[in-house]
């Protein structure tokens, strides 16, 4: 699928394949094949794990931010506003937030194709 190959191109050279190997999610050869979407089902699973991990990490960071803000007596920002603010000041956050949005867009596209529901 072209969308998975495009996501692989986006992630190539960013340490994604190496991270999947280090986390024992895939072998080195399999992780590198994810970049080219050689096996669609396995590649999609790798991207699903990535999206879930990025979402968890993003929400953990937001939870820490809200705890710190409340302990300092400040009202924490809404999640979306906080994400936008972090993306503006931190290029690494912006890259991985964009990656998460890309992954989720691909999954919505796949789901709409499977269900023939193009209003998703």
For 74-107, letters b (16+ CB in 10 Å) and e give: eebbeeeebbeebbeeeeebeebbebbebbeebb
* Least confident stretch, 10-14, 44-48, 90-94, 116-120: 116-120
More confident residue, 65 or 118: 65
Percent of the chain surpassing pLDDT 90 = 94
What is the structure's pLDDT at 47?
96
Residues 25 and 47: their CA atoms lie apart, in Å, by 11
For the cut 90, the answer to whether the pLDDT of residue 118 exceeds it is no
At residue 38, what are phi and psi to the nearest 5 degrees? -65, -35
| Interior angle at CA 10, CA 13 and CA 16, nearest 5 | 45
Residue with tokens 């999609």, as numbered in its chain: 44
For the cut 70, the answer to whether the pLDDT of residue 61 exceeds it is yes
Residue with tokens 């529901």, as numbered in its chain: 117
- Three-state secondary structure call for residue 100: helix
Q: Where are the domains of the chain?
A: 2-115
Mean pLDDT, the chain, whole residue set? 95
| Residues 23-40 pLDDT 10s | 999 999 999 999 999 999
């Amino acid at each position: 699928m072209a969308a998975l190959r495009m996501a692989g191109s986006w992630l190539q050279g960013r340490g994604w394949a190496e991270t999947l190997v280090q986390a024992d999610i895939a072998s080195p050869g399999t992780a590198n094949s994810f970049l080219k979407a050689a096996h669609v089902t396995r590649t999609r699973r790798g991207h699903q794990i990535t999206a879930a991990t990025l979402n968890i990490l993003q929400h953990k960071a937001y939870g820490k931010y809200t705890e710190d803000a409340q302990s300092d007596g400040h009202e924490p920002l809404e999640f979306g506003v906080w994400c936008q603010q972090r993306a503006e000041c931190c290029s690494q956050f912006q890259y991985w937030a964009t990656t998460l949005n890309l992954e989720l867009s691909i999954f919505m596209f796949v789901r709409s194709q499977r269900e023939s529901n193009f209003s998703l």
